[in-house]
Homo-oligomer: A and B are copies of this chain.
Amino acid sequence: MPFALLVADPFAGTLALMALVWLVAKLGGEIALRLRLPAVAGELCAGLLLAVCARMVPGFPDLAKSGAAETLANLGVIVLMFAVGLESTVPQMMSVGLPSLRVAVIGVVVPMIAGFGGAWLLLPAGTPIVVDLFIGACLCATSIGISAQVLREQGAASSFEGRVIVGAAVIDDVLGLLVLVGVSGAVTALGSATGLPWGSMGRTLGMAFLFLGSALTLGRWAIPHLFHLANRFRSEQLLLPLGLAFAFLLAWLGSLAGLATIVGAYAAGLILEPAHVHLLEQREAQRLEDLVHPLVTTFAPVFFVLMGAKVDPASLVAPDTLLFAALLALLGVLGKYVSGLGAGRGFRTSVVGWGMVPRGEVGLIFVAAGSTLMVDGRALLSLEVQAGVVGALLLTTVAGPMGLGWVLRRSAPKS
């Protein structure tokens, strides 16, 4: 029937796939809740199940290869971090600046050393030391999306510990960037006499601080004026598109400065305060947070299911790889858990520690970067090592929300 093909909408397959994602996300979340786990852990596992189906069942769609799902998942984590930012204000975050800095530094240094030591012990003798160094680097970046979702589920996103976790994750992103530039530079320097790329590292740090600094000063100064102008428009339904446009612009600018897009989206949420948008909120009789909420409900599950679906199930079944991954994951969990001590006395350090545990796309980007670096004409990370590190990242990603959900339920806030 060639005529039917002429009018068939190529987007139809995507629609079926998204419906499937929502259904498995809600089913997985429900099962997780009944097991007293956070819903997001169930969504991650639902994605892993889809990945297994895509490999076992002929004709089953492969979510990990859908460009549209990738777009919607990216949108999901951006609006999620924007929503988390909206729940806090700049002064609130400034008040947790020092504990966040301590947590971030411990949470980068300790897992890096632990990962380096673990890889040095576990990998066969003769492995170049930069490989151990790179594996340590892969363990140092927290993926905040998952913890943010758990904190929101439990209503703890604006608690002291919740703010420390998010603040530490932002600093963590800057430090992770430095580590990647530094370690990649060390690998490149192996073949030459240039040493560590101090200039490049300094420039990276400068750009990141420049972005964060101008967002928090210039952005905060400009926003009331812009929304005051928008309030003179006669159009309806301005609040949400303008709020999102601001978040997306900052996410883009942040990425130009080398930061993850979610850092910019979070900064946008932080800057936008009720006082800036209250005229538009009054006119539309709705709060910006309530308007963003359905977007988070719709697209954040796509992000978590896709994250699970991107895991290659085959990489998790080889016993050697699995053992390597499990030991590395254990070191990674412990390394981040002790970072919770940086939050200081009187606070739920275990909540902060568990909140820093999940690794995700940042670690995966490190692995991808490592697979393109060459040492003595061979790839820095062999396929087995890559599978092991990815497995370790996945284990922390599932363990993180489980641990965080457990300690949040167990302990009441002390602030």
A residues sitting closer than 8 Å to B (CB atoms) are 1, 3-4, 6-9, 11-16, 18-19, 22-23, 25-26, 29-30, 33-34, 39, 67-68, 70-72, 74-75, 78, 153, 177, 180-181, 184-185, 197, 200, 203-204, 230, 233-238, 240-242, 244-246, 248-249, 251-252, 255-256, 258, 260-261, 291-295, 297-298, 301, 365, 368-369, 372
Contact = CB atoms under 8 A, between A and B. Distances in A.
A4 B258 contact: yes
- List the 5 closest A-B pairs by CB distance, nearest first: A12-B255, A16-B252, A19-B248, A22-B241, A15-B248
A261 B29 contact: no
Given A72-B71, A185-B3, A291-B294, A242 B22 contact: yes
Given A3-B204, A30-B235, 14 more contacts: A3-B180, A3-B184, A7-B258, A7-B369, A12-B256, A16-B248, A18-B245, A19-B244, A19-B245, A22-B244, A23-B245, A33-B234, A67-B67, A293-B294
9 contacts: A4-B204, A15-B252, A16-B249, A19-B246, A30-B234, A153-B236, A241-B298, A244-B298, A291-B297
Contacts of A4: 204, 258
Contact of A71 (B3, B67, B200): B67
A273 B242 CA distance: 32
A11 B67 CA distance: 11
A230 to B, nearest CB: 8
Contact of A252 (B13, B67, B292): B13
Given A15-B261, A78-B15, A297 B237 contact: yes
A30 B295 contact: no
Given A74-B11, A248-B15, A249-B16, A6 B369 contact: yes
Given A15-B261, A19-B252, A204-B3, A301 B9 contact: no
Contacts of A241: 22, 25-26, 297-298, 301
Contacts of A23: 242, 245
Contact of A233 (B9, B30, B255): B30
A85 B325 CA distance: 50
A1 B67 contact: no
Contacts of A203: 1
Nearest to A238: B26
A235 B26 contact: yes
A69 B237 CA distance: 20
A39 B248 contact: no
Nearest to A262: B9
A68 B7 CA distance: 21
A264 to B, nearest CB: 8
Contact of A249 (B19, B39, B180, B294): B19
Contact of A200 (B1, B30, B235, B298): B1
Nearest to A237: B297
Contacts of A9: 74, 255, 260-261
Contacts of A177: 7
Contacts of A204: 3-4
B244 A3 contact: no
B298 A240 contact: yes
A49 to B, nearest CB: 17
Nearest to A173: B7
A7 B180 contact: yes
A190 to B, nearest CB: 15
B12 A261 contact: yes
Nearest to A68: B71
A233 B26 CA distance: 9
